[in-house]
Homo-oligomer: A and B are copies of this chain.
Amino acid sequence: MRVGVIGGGQLARMLALAGAPLGVRVHALDPAVDACSGGVAPLEVAAFDDLAALHRFADVCDAITFDFENVSAPALHELEVLRPVRPNPLALATAQDRGAEKVLFVRVGTGVAPFAVVEEPAHLAQAVATVAFPAILKTRRFGYDGKGQIRVDCADLLEDAWTRLGRAACVLETRIAFERELSIVAVRALDGELRCYPLVENLHVDGILSATLAPAVVDPALAQQAESCARRVGETLDYVGVFAIEFFDVGGRLLANEMAPRVHNSGHWSIEGAITGQFENHLRAVAGLPLGDTAARGLSCMLNWIGELPERNAALRVPGLHWHDYGKAARAGRKVGHATITAADRGELRRRLALVADLLGRHAQIDPVLARLG
């Protein structure tokens, strides 16, 4: 069984590492000759829209999946006539589009921030009538890690913001005063079985995920809301594989922010912190195998390494710390690795995180997590 992954970044790399013991071989396609999955799995170097290369690639794979979602429609079409594409192209298309995503959340009964679509000049006035300010204007497509979005403090600034985003198709949404950001990672099998990982809390810096606390310290009713949303989204899209949904917690009510149709940064903790990691479960689903147990093993905190890796040898002294070097060159803003700190209970996790903060000089990143741990 060989699974082709469109994209050869760290997600493809971690898929390949999870696939080897399972007997599922991962083969990635990426335009970069130094794509980091190449160190652990075969890499086909080709542009994402090189239809001939996609054809060759599909020929040697039994099923196709993705480590990033912005694949073009013609490419998807080329692939899906050749091999099963999981998740299916409709699910991908929905998650690629912030407008379609919001419509989906509303359809499954999950709240979203008040929003309006801005695609032509006439929409500007309608949007101002629908959306309270301060708001955020986001491109409908190709946004990630805070890119493709601009804060708009008042109605007068909307047209200017839209122009700065190239007058592309956008959604304007009210900026929500939330207590925290939560996300749920779920996996759905070919036979429709769906399992959720525990709800987690995410802390961002400059729009990029900085830390994930798993499980989140939340009321069970909140976790239930998130699972219910994930279940209905999975069923509606006839989804196969892992996906994530990000939420704002607004006074105990969840508003869905966006979904990612792939393994997700907020699920990296599951490699060591859950019985079956998200990467293994995604491959199990895509390969048509039974799902693994998504229950947590104790508590975990995932810390993202952005730009460059901290001093590894110091970090490895921390008990329960699991290091993940993606094999990428250092570059500002780039995700080059992460670490997951596992612990049996909250006190142990606190002590270990405090040690990481001291050893690596990472108080700015870790103190907010400690505050969350109470």
Interface residues of chain A, those whose CB is within 8 Å of chain B, are: 13, 16-17, 20-23, 25, 39-41, 275, 284, 289-290, 292-293, 297-298, 309, 312-313, 316-317, 319-320, 322-325, 327, 342
Contact = CB atoms under 8 A, between A and B. Distances in A.
Q: Which of A20, A25, A309, A313 has the most CB of B within 10 A?
A: A20
Given A290-B316, A317-B290, A323 B25 contact: no
Contact of A20 (B21, B22, B39, B292): B39
B275 A320 contact: yes
List the 7 shortest-distance A-B pairs measured between CB atoms, nearest first: A23-B325, A21-B324, A293-B319, A290-B316, A290-B317, A20-B40, A289-B316
Nearest to A21: B324
Contact of A25 (B39, B41, B275): B39
Nearest to A298: B297
A196 to B, nearest CB: 15
Contact of A21 (B25, B293, B323): B323
Contacts of A13: 20
B17 A20 contact: yes
Nearest to A323: B22
Contacts of A319: 275, 292-293
Contacts of A289: 312-313, 316
Contacts of A290: 313, 316-317
A293 B352 CA distance: 13
Contact of A293 (B23, B41, B284, B320): B320
Contact of A17 (B21, B309, B312): B21
A289 B313 CA distance: 6
Nearest to A322: B21
Contacts of A293: 319-320
Nearest to A287: B313
14 contacts: A20-B39, A20-B327, A23-B323, A23-B325, A25-B39, A40-B41, A275-B319, A275-B342, A289-B312, A289-B316, A290-B313, A290-B317, A293-B319, A297-B297
